[in-house]
């Protein structure tokens, strides 16, 4: 689902990206420091001539080995040995913008790595605790939902049992009402 660029409230640059498979795309590059990633959002022009942002490709700082600027091009390398370039970004603003982005990505990558090391040294990552807390909350919600469904089924069963004596509530599988003898004749027919 696309959204207007103004509504996104993100700061970044529109750039040309080349991905490892050779695809060239225009993307909106933004750094997500809280999420620890470089986000490359799809860009298109809407019917009203406004720029719309679409799906994002997130490149986690944890997988970035380095960002290197060469002229107006920034290459982001994978940290895995012999893995190569994750993405190549071309900035129309020139080499100054490319150098600034490469430096900032490297600083963010190093800050992200030191943050993870610090959290590990403190006895566990808070993100893991957050995930466990959220899962426990979801389990409690599911248990409450199952209990409510059980109560609803019990009420429905009681309602059906109470309504079985009422002939107008009975319907055949084909939607027709079954033929019933009047109660006074039904008692004599046995």
The pLDDT value recorded for residue 111 is 79
Q: Name the residue range of residue 142's domain.
A: 125-159
Looking at the fold, whether 100 and 139 belong to one and the same domain comes out as no
Residue 70 is predicted with a pLDDT of: 94
Higher pLDDT, 16 or 8: 16
What's the pLDDT tens digit per position in 154-183? 888 887 777 655 555 556 667 676 665 555
Residues 6+ apart with CB under 8 A from 125: 116, 119
Same structural domain, 111 and 149 = no
Query: Minimum mean pLDDT among 2-11, 46-55, 120-129, 151-160: which range?
Result: 2-11
Q: Tens digit of pLDDT for each residue in 52-73?
A: 888 989 898 888 889 999 999 9
Domain co-membership, 118 together with 140: no
Distance CA 43, CA 152 (A): 48
Q: What is the pLDDT of residue 50?
A: 84
User: How many domains does the structure of the chain reveal?
Assistant: 2
Q: Same structural domain for residues 70 and 145?
A: no
| 56 & 139 share domain | no
Predicted local distance difference test score (pLDDT) of residue 8: 43
64: domain CATH number is: 2.30.29.30
């Amino acid at each position: 689902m696309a959204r207007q660029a103004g509504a996104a409230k993100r700061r970044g640059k529109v750039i040309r990206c080349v991905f490892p498979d050779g695809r060239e795309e225009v993307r909106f590059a933004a750094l997500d420091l809280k999420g620890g990633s470089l986000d490359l959002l799809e860009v298109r022009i809407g019917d009203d001539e406004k720029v719309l942002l679409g799906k994002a490709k997130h490149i986690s700082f944890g997988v970035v080995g380095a960002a290197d600027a060469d002229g107006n091009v920034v290459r982001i390398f994978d940290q895995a040995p012999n893995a190569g370039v994750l993405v190549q970004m071309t900035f129309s603003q020139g080499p100054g913008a490319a150098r600034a982005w490469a430096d900032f990505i490297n600083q963010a990558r190093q800050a992200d790595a030191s943050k993870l090391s610090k959290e590990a040294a403190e006895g566990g990552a808070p993100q893991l605790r957050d995930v466990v807390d959220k899962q426990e909350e979801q389990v409690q919600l599911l248990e409450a939902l199952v209990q409510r469904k059980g109560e609803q089924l019990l009420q429905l069963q009681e309602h059906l049992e109470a309504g079985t004596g009422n002939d107008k509530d009975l319907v055949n599988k084909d939607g027709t009402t079954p033929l019933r003898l009047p109660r006074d004749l039904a008692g004599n027919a046995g």
